[in-house]
Structure 1
Amino acid sequence: MRDLAKLPKAHLHLHFTGSMRVATLRDLSQEHGVRVPAALLDDDPLRVPADERGWFRFQRLYDAARACVRSEADMRRLVDEAAADDAAEGSGRLEIQVDPTSYAPFVGGITPAVEIVLDAARSASAAHGVEVAVVVAASRTRHPLDARVLARLAARYAGDGPGEVVGFGLSNDERRGDTGEFAAAFGIARRAGLASVPHGGELLGPAHVREVVDALAPDRLGHGVRAGEDPALLAELVDAGVALEVCPASNVGLGVYADVAAVPLRTLVDAGAHVALGADDPLLFGSRLVDQYESARREHGFTDAGLADLARASIRASRASSGTRARLLAGVDDWLAAGDPDLSSPSHPPTG
């Protein structure tokens, strides 16, 4: 079996605060005199039920971690370390998601917050050899007008290279807010050339996926794993070319599935879906990018050829330039050919 940390891949579902190392959280909490729950520091992956009480606990922990990010230096550290961690795991492209609202009070507003993250992304890209682009995300728990403000801000920095905004997202509890009311914000982002990358179809089922698809016209769907419960809907997503950012560890951590083996990864891939594996919030779920590929190998029986196809799907679903995509795809072929030249063809069946 080939080393999955050397498999070139793109990482398309990673949240800014959730990317934080446990050691960094400990440092920042001590530096700022902020007490954090022991559950964030014990290296024990979060497991909560898939109900509102479970989400409340998850959100409370996430907010506690976010409260420790209180300066420009803190923000730059998170971006740099996220890039370093991704580079160590073979990621050649990271599209990290951030809602600047929470950090704005410490750095002078949402515009400086975004600019800090973008500048840090450029520096981290140069330092670690992984392209770091940014997805600006609104929250379902805030007013849709706030989302429009963020969409206009994101549009100012649109591009596909390191330190540029590539997409606009919608995150937080899927049970909150009216999806249709955020359509105007996504229209602003779309007209600026940004990818539509809302969350949907993790806590809620196929009906919610359809609601998000109809209202927000996603290019990629954050999670979307529950689409596997409706073959007709899944076929529509495949036909429309909507990629799914599947994060097995967080699906288990949030109680959607009992264990990683129950995540319908094989169902999605066998249906022809473009699946990009992601780590979501490693700080809480104790699992980074390579762990997702390892679970696909271990729990779902993906061969190295099948894992290579997952990596290819992540690269193709990214907003990287054609040159970056070509370089990373060639690297996947090289990774596979190093063990067996006959398996290097991109047409090899993704199921292995």
Structure 2
Amino acid sequence: MLDIRTELTTNPKEKPAVDELGFGHYFTDHMFIVEYTEGKGWHDAKITQYQPIPMYPSSMVFHYGQSVFEGLKAYKTVDGEVLLFRPDRNFARLNKSNERLVIPAIDEEFALEALKQLVSIDRDWVPNALGTSLYIRPFIIATEANLGVHPSKNYKFIIIMSPSGSYYKGGINPVKIMVEQQFVRAVKGGTGEAKTGGNYASALKGQEIAEKEGYAQTLWLDGKENKYVEEVGSMNIFFKINGTVITPELNGSILAGITRDSMIQVLKSKNVPVEERRISINEIVEASHNGTLEEVFGTGTAAVISPVGELKYLDEKLIINDGKIGEVSQMLYDTLTGIQNGTIEDTFGWTIKL
């Protein structure tokens, strides 16, 4: 395992007020960075001051999009302890993305150790107000200065961190979602199951269209038949139909969300029927018409759960649970956030205490 050199800042920043945090606006004093060179492997690991990255304009990430990233959080308990939530799964998924983008694998144990050291150094940046957290963004970019179309020979693996405010300041309010008909986010065989920036760039047009029509996000259908539900915005999606919770099966174009997996495990532990399978938009419309569509919610790192109160498909607006959060959605949110902030016993072994 590589040694990690530490270069602490001599000019720590003033921390923002909790009510000013928002998401992704402020960054902690330090970051982790390690270099990759073909023939040498990963080397020169260090924790250093958060700062700009010197790169050539010809660096391959700018031209061919060879990049991957992850998103996870650290939480502060009422006792002042800092918890990480399933970080091992994030680094395992990062390596799956690496494989798809032809990026060298990282040592997952080393990455976790680097993360622990970084969070420990900047632990005072973990906010302790209800609903707040320290968002953690590991990412890898291709840095070879070359315009030839081939996998880069040089990379940087970096971890930066940002204190984040409460996602739901005024309580959890269901959002309105529009089913996208013209564009697709990803297709089987593409990069949909990798966490790479291009997937998010391709989704921006749909999001723009939805927002112009007064909707919070886009519900994406499959790229082949334009029939089966895949993701909502940058989140996985769940439907509760006639007592059973259904989420689209992982098919090569859907990201294997860690929050998604956690929700499935919680549902099973609570004896709530849950299925991973293909589900068509027509099945959802029919369930709405016959009164069996009981809840809809998205899941992801940032929001944990985002309940859906309305779906617009073609010219029809489907109202879900009278536009209110459902019982299962609330239970899942309370359970997962309780585990994350230490108020509920972690019987799954998901948290790591620093």
TM category (shorter chain) comes to: under 0.3
Which structure is higher in RCO with an 8 Å CA cutoff and minimum separation 6?
1
Question: Which of the two has greater strand per residue?
Answer: 2
